[in-house]
Amino acid sequence: MNKLMGIDLDSPYLQAILAVLVVGSLTALSLLKFYVFVTCGRCGSKAKMKGKTVIVTGATGGIGKETAKNLAARGARVIIACRNTDYGNQVRDELVKETNNENIVVKKLDLASQKSIREFAKDINESESRLDVLIHNAGTAETRSKVSEDGLELTMATNHFGPFLLTHLLIDLLKRSAPSRIVVVASELYRLASVNLNKLNPVNSFIPTYLYYVSKYVNIYFTLELARRLEGTNVTANCLHPGMIDSGIWRNVPVPLSWPLKLIIKSFFKTPEQGCQTSVHLAVSEELEGVSGKYYMDCRERGLTRAASDMAKAKKNACD
C-alpha cells in the first residue's frame, strides 16, 4: 500500500479525483485558449493602399513585420525603418516574395539615437514626395539600466523620446500628404504604471523593466495631445493595444522567470499575425477616416483610465 502523509495513494477514489482535476484543468485551459482565439480582433477592411507610402518602425520582426507584410500586400509603398539594415534587407526580400510587391525599401533608423532619427527624417523628407501613414511600432523593454548616447534611459529613449522627435520632424510631410494617419503602438500594461512627468528620464531606475509600462503610458499621453494639436489638419493620431504577443520583446526576461513565461506565451499569447490586426485597422480602415485621439484594442475603440485621459497631463508631457 502506497501512502503519503497518511493518504492511501492506491485508493480508487483519490485516483478518480485526481483524474477529474487533470481533465478539468486541461479543459479549462483549452476553453481559455479558445476564448482568446475567438475574441481576437481582425481587420475586416479590404482597402487597397496603392499609391500610398507607409513607414513602419521596428518592422524586421514580430507585429511590425506582419504589419509591413499586410500593408505591402495591399499595394502600399512600405518603408522598413530598422537598426540593422542587413537583416532588414533579408526581411524585405522575404516580404517581396510573399506579397509580390517590389515597392518595399529599407532605411536605417535607431530610435535610441537622436542623430539617427534626424538623419532618417532628413532622408525621408528629401526622397519621399508623400507620407500617408506613420506607424510607431518599434519598442524595447530593457531589464538592466542603460543610457543612450544622448544621455536618455534606453527604454524611454526608444519607446517615447524617439517617436516624439521623429513625428515632429515628419509632421510637415504628413500634413502635405493629408489625409494621413499616425498610429502609435501602446499597451494595456500602462494600467500597471504611474507617470511622473517631472522625471521622464529616470537613468538610475531601480526596476528598469517597469519603465516599459511607463513608456506605454506616456505613448497614450503623446497620442492624445498630438491629436488635439492636429485638429483641422486632416492628420489623425490614434493609439492601440496589440494584445500580449509572442514576439521578441520578451527575450530580455532573465532565467528562471523566462521558463514559466515561455509556457504562458506559447499557450495563450497572440501570434504576430494576430497582433498586427489593430495596427492595420488604424492604418487602413475607411470607417476611421477623420477619427483621432482614440485608443483601440482588438480593432475596437476602448476606454482609458481617468488618469490616462487627463488632457492637462498630456499637454504637459508634450510641452516638457
- pLDDT tens, 23-50? 665 565 555 555 555 556 899 999 999 9
Residue 181 domain flag: yes
Q: Among residues 195, 227, 228, which one has the least CA distance to residue 313?
A: 195
Can you say how many angstroms the Cα of residue 222 is from the centroid of all Cα atoms in its chain? 15
The three grid cell numbers given for residue 199, joined into one nine-digit string: 522625471
Q: Are the C-beta atoms of 315 and 225 separated by less than 8 Å?
A: yes
- 249 alpha carbon, distance to own chain's centre: 10
Q: What letter does residue 306 receive in the DSSP assignment?
A: T
Beta bridge partners of 59: none
Q: Which residues are catalytic?
A: 212
The more confident residue out of 109 and 257 is 109
pLDDT at position 235 over 60: yes
Q: Please indicate, yes or no, if residue 9 is contained in any of the structural domains.
A: no
**Domain presence at residue 250:** no
What SS3 state is found at 236?
strand
Range of the domain at 191: 51-245+271-319
Of the listed ranges 43-47, 50-54, 310-314, the one predicted with least confidence: 310-314
User: What are the angstrom distances between the C-alpha of 151 and each of 112, 204, 318?
Assistant: 10, 11, 19
The model's pLDDT over 246-293, given as tens digits with 9 standing for 90+, comes to: 666 556 555 566 555 565 655 567 888 999 999 999 999 999 999 999
- CA 195 from centroid of its chain's CA atoms: 19
Q: Is residue 35 part of a domain?
A: no
Number of structural domains found in the chain: 1
Average pLDDT over residues 7-27: 63
pLDDT in tens, 156-196: 999 999 999 999 999 999 999 999 999 999 999 999 998 98
CA distance 82 to 58: 5
Residues 6 or more apart whose Cβ sits within 8 Å of residue 50:
74, 75, 76
Report the CATH number at residue 310: 3.40.50.720
In a domain, 167, yes or no: yes
List Cα–Cα distances, 139 to 76, 133, 156, 161, in angstroms: 23, 18, 9, 11
pLDDT at 47: 97
Does residue 103 belong to any structural domain of this protein? yes
Q: Is the pLDDT of residue 202 over 60?
A: yes
Mean pLDDT computed over every residue of the chain: 87
CA dihedral sign of residues 110, 114, 119, 124: positive
pTM given for the model: 0.84
**In-domain check, residue 256:** no
Beta bridge partners of 80: 56, 106
Residue 191 lies in a domain: yes
State the pLDDT at residue 203: 78
The per-residue pLDDT for 238 is 98
